[in-house]
A and B are shown apart, each in its own frame.
Chain A
Amino acid sequence: MAPVLETRGLDKHFGGIVAADEVSLSIAKGARHALIGPNGAGKTTVVNLLTGVLRPTAGQILLDGRDITGLAPHERVRLGIARTFQINQLFADLTPIETLGLAISERLGLGSDWWRIVGSRSSVTDEIAELIERFRLGDVMCERTAILPYGKQRLLEIALAIACKPRVLLLDEPAAGVPEDERHEILSSVEALPKDVTVLLIEHDMDIIFSFADRISVLVNGSLFVEGDPDEVARDPRVRAVYLGEAFDA
């Protein structure tokens, strides 16, 4: 299938440090693609490059064959790339209702409407309600985000990305820091994503990766190391070596 998101020879240098080295990724439409690698391998750097938070030193990023390398983060969101953050990036003073209402309003192009009140459109409020239901945020929807339990904040983090109705969703360790007994809530919400949404998942937890991904890329020291379906990757002796810390100490 044609790739929806593609990178060609993506480089990112921070001074003398090479954080991404000739990364050429190709993510198929509707894929459940996992990007794995040891700590410091450059996974989050790749996400930051894809979303425009960082500008690459060299290389290209294409969405549906269109070059988006020079676009600002908010422009990429409008084209359908949304992400979650490894460390929660939420609006501490807003409630979940307002947080989701904000993203939905932006997506519908109402963000520069300075006259009508946020809750005055049923198209917006219906969708807020739907997301709140889906991510089980009902009991905290009127609270300030800052005081929500961590697990709920994590759910809101994902709900907020979904509110952008992405075609490509980048999940940066969605279950990071969530206690074991609350993980399934997050994972089931990720698994329940519509099939036409392409997902790039960054994760450490091998159980999650092998239960979720249909394609895996392994990143080591900023460059792509192995790519294949889960079985291939699991069998690959080099990957085993990396994860057992024999060959590389990243």
Chain B
Amino acid sequence: MLGDPDDDRLIGELGELLDATDPPPARLVAAAKANYGWRTIDAELAALAYDSAAEPVPAGVRGGEEPRLVVFDGADLRLEIELHAEGPGRHLLGQLVPPGPAELQVRQGGGRVSVSADASGRFAATGLSAEALSLACLRPGQPPVVTDWVLP
């Protein structure tokens, strides 16, 4: 890795060119900073454990027909989510494991959509966008659980 000065100079020149012609958009940097508002202090994390979109598609099978299945695992709670795309919109169906009633918030963009899980742990949310989203789950007498963020 001993840098040849000429190589280093050319890479530096290329860096200046790319900085000038294709820098990260200012609105992206601003949005990434604003993300900090989503920070949670005392929530447990349910981490991304499975994503059907990341699985290899068998030869000859076109993806995109089946709903995408995403699973998040926390210490004592699993969230299974089916993501459906309808043009630019998204909706989701979810199942809590173990099943039980809970309040859920779909966190996305500038706001939250609140939905309830029924006694069997099922829930649904509609009217979502294609922006990154995360779920927060509030169960009676339990600490809140938040999921990893995914691009639906």
A-B complex is real: no
- Chain A positions within 8 Å of B, measured between CB atoms, are none
- Chain B positions within 8 Å of A, measured between CB atoms, are none
